[in-house]
Homo-oligomer: A and B are copies of this chain.
Amino acid sequence: MPYRLYYWPGLPGRGEFVRLALEEAGAPYVDVGRLPASEGGGAGAVVAARKGALGGIPPFAPPILQAGDLVLAQTAAICAWIGERHGLVPADPEARAHAVQLQLTVMDLVAEAHDTHHPLAIGEYYEAQREAAVVKAAQFRKERMPAFLGYFKRVLAASGGPWLLGETRSYVDLSLFQVLSGLDYAFPQAYAREVPAELQVLRQRVAALPNIAAYLLSSRRQAFNEHGIFRRYPELDG
């Protein structure tokens, strides 16, 4: 039975971290939110899943993965679940714990990147908080983004590379690829200035993995846009 991913249609968002893991794993999945409503998909299906229609421990928010009887939410928890069942992380418990550590740090960076355009109220329009967003984004570009990027460069140095955990690619590499791509989309000037060469190489290395390369060329891959986490608002790029 294929996995079923429930995530909002119309933006890559946090669902994309799950898609990249499923694609690299070669695991069959249905991207329910992107199906037509007439086939049981669309935003309505995601809303229903969010409200607990799939049963089990309820989710707080999408992405939600249905894997047989399991219904699992939280991006990092889903990526770890897939990774541990499809060879996207080493088998030893310490490496798996480090993968979770790194994935959570990737997700912290995702949250901070998101908050640059929604610093005051997650449920309000960007335009209503643009002034605060300009302040928040400046601090993100000058301090937080360089701190995170420098950190992942140090991780590569500590592991010996070429991947974050060392000799084998893991779901964390896929997620960092997505964040680097998103930062490049949202903050092209700051990204070009701040990204360490080692992370650019890692980004290209992920994009060249055969399953990922095929995915990126497919219609399953969605472009970044101004509904998602990473938004190109020129005033936020300084």
Contact = CB atoms under 8 A, between A and B. Distances in A.
Interface string A108-147: 1001000100011111100000001001100100011000
Contact of A57 (B52, B56, B98): B98
A97 interface: yes
Contacts of A180: none
Given A60-B108, A159-B57, A100 B119 contact: no
A70 interface: yes
Interface string A58-76: 1110000000011011101
Task: Kindly report how many copies of this chain are found in the complex they form together.
Answer: 2
Given A70-B97, A72-B98, A158-B52, A60 B105 contact: yes
A60 B135 contact: no
Given A77-B100, A94-B70, A58 B154 contact: yes
B60 A73 contact: no
Given A120-B136, A139-B120, A73 B101 contact: yes
Interface string A67-105: 001101110110011000000000000100110111011
A155 interface: yes
**Chain B CB within 10 Å, residue with most, of A101, A111, A143:** A101
A124 B80 CA distance: 34
A148 B60 contact: yes
A17 B124 CA distance: 31
Given A73-B101, A76-B104, A132-B120, A60 B143 contact: no
A166 to B, nearest CB: 9
Contacts of A119: 119-120, 132, 136
Contacts of A81: 97
